Structure 1
């Protein structure tokens, strides 16, 4: 099931997923990553975080964090635990984020994918996202989809 984030229950798992699933794909320096880690609680309090869980009271096995800017949905982070991958949790999280955004007037969605994250590029491509540019300074692709 997909539910809203419960900070006391979910944040430790979310932080672990960020550390183990997202940070290794990043081209940021250790100093930049330390700064981002410090800012993570504030970052999670801005926008919306949905959590994948096997049941309503269960622990998180994945999450998507996103923000709405006018008619734009910006997917900030998506991660799924290794044991839960290839079981459609990532797709379900993205569908729910896009539904949420469409219900609030969003017409398009954007996200960034690190250049080394080839499986992420394939995943988002299957969901209808197209690469619109390479940001060489951050070693990431910008992807977009019309909702």
Structure 2
């Protein structure tokens, strides 16, 4: 089931997912990157966060969305617990992002993916996202999907 984030219930799990699955890629370009629960809470507060509770009460995965100018919605963070990867959770969360974008009048969904995260690139490509820009400094691709 996908629902909105409940901070007191979800944030510890979200923080762990970020530390385990996303931060290692970010630290390849920013080795001294320090992520604290307070910094993560601040980042989550700046957008709309949904969790998939396939694991019961605790999130098996989450997605952070941030509406952008130019009729775009940004997927700021997406992570699915390793033991739940390959079970459709990421796809469901991305579908939720696309529905949310359409509700906000957005014409596109964008996201950044690390060059080293080849599995994520393949996942997004299968969902119809294409790379439109590469940031050499961040070593990340900007991927975009136009909405019908």
TM-score w.r.t. the length of structure 2 is: 0.92
Runs of 4+ with deviation above 4 angstroms: none
2:59 is equivalent to residue 60 of structure 1 = yes
Shift of 1:101: 1.3
**Alignment RMSD (CA, Å):** 1.4
Tell me the distance in 2 between the aligned counterparts of 1:102 and 1:52.
Answer: 20
2:95 is equivalent to residue 95 of structure 1 = yes
Shift of 1:96: 0.5
Count of paired positions: 144
Tell me the distance in 2 between the aligned counterparts of 1:4 and 1:73.
Answer: 17
Partner of 1:30: 31
Tell me the SS of whatever aligns to 2:44.
helix
Tell me the distance in 2 between the aligned counterparts of 1:40 and 1:14.
Answer: 9
Tell me the distance in 2 between the aligned counterparts of 1:111 and 1:29.
Answer: 19
TM-score w.r.t. the length of structure 1 is: 0.93
Shift of 1:86: 0.2
Structure 1: runs of 5 or more not aligned: none
In the TM superposition, what whole-angstrom CA distance separates every residue of 1:38-80 from its partner, at most 9, and x where no partner exists? 522111001100001027x611110000111241110100000
Shift of 1:29: 2.5
